[in-house]
Amino acid sequence: MNYPPQHHQDNDINHMIEVIKTYPLATVISVDNNEPLITHLPLIYSNGKLIGHIDINNPHAQLLQNNTEVTLIFSGPECYISPSIFSSTQLPTWNYIKVHLKGNVQENPDKAALKQSLISMTEFLEAPDHKYILSTDNLRLDKYLDYILMFEIEITHWEGKFKLSQDKKPNDIIAAREELVRANQASVIQFLNKVF
């Protein structure tokens, strides 16, 4: 048996880039002395690379340089799929979109590049409304540049995991898609009402 099933794999790099752009918060995983270090950071895809920033006091910062290998996970929408939504007999399942990447990471020590990168990342994350603009003459930004490490990741391996009930009948695939949209909207509201 081949696992994971081929119909749950998406090898289209453009689809994976779309996940990265829409859900840029990555789970960044490195290994040091057989111990995993895990950090969650927004990463921006640009010119075939991923660009990120980390506080120099974060222990993970030491592993985000010197061509070190890193593993990344980007998470798209996900939800439980009840058999009740299908027109045919099914079992419960979980649908999700994930992108797993491997790459080599290199520090970029150029402070001017770091500053521009922070400005560009803010501009990207503020889209489409751009209610806030991080300006080049922001004194607070200048004050913190010495405490931020900028890094670039050259991607060496792409893997798209798009489990979206592709093995079902066409009308059940549509039902699963609609449930993914509905469940994500409803679950965010319910969760926030419980914790905040």
- Residue 151 inside a domain? The answer is yes
The C-alpha angle with vertex 133 and arms to 131 and 138, in degrees rounded to 5, equals: 145
- Residue 41 inside a domain? The answer is yes
| Alpha-carbon distance values, 181 to 107, 166, 185, 186 (Å) | 38, 16, 6, 9
- Residue 1 inside a domain? The answer is no
Could you please report the per-residue DSSP string of 6-56?
GGGB---HHHHHHHHHHS-EEEEEEEETTEEEEEEEE-EEETTEEEEEEET
The domain that holds 54 is classified in CATH as: 2.30.110.10
- Residue 36 inside a domain? The answer is yes
Query: Which tens digit of pLDDT belongs to each residue from 56-92?
Result: 999 999 999 999 999 999 999 999 999 999 998 889 9
Domain of 26, in residue numbers: 6-195
Whether residue 17 has pLDDT greater than 80: yes
Residue 122, pLDDT score: 96
Whether residue 9 has pLDDT greater than 90: no
- Residue 14 inside a domain? The answer is yes
Within 13 Å and on the Cβ side, how many CA atoms surround 113? 11
Whether residue 1 has pLDDT greater than 60: no
- Residue 99 inside a domain? The answer is yes
Whether residue 194 has pLDDT greater than 90: no
Query: Which tens digit of pLDDT belongs to each residue from 91-119?
Result: 999 999 999 999 999 999 999 999 999 99
Alpha-carbon distance 111 to 149, whole Å?
A: 9
Residue 188, pLDDT score: 82
- Give me the number of domains the chain comprises: 1
Residue 191, pLDDT score: 84
- Residue 92 inside a domain? The answer is yes
- Residue 183 inside a domain? The answer is yes
Q: Both ends of the chain: CA-CA distance in Å?
A: 45
Mean pLDDT of the residues in the chain: 93
Say what the pTM is. Answer: 0.92
Token pair of 52, please?
């990120």
Residue-level length of the chain: 196
Q: What is the number of other CB atoms lying within 10 angstroms of the CB of residue 118?
A: 19
Q: What is the number of other CB atoms lying within 10 angstroms of the CB of residue 151?
A: 25
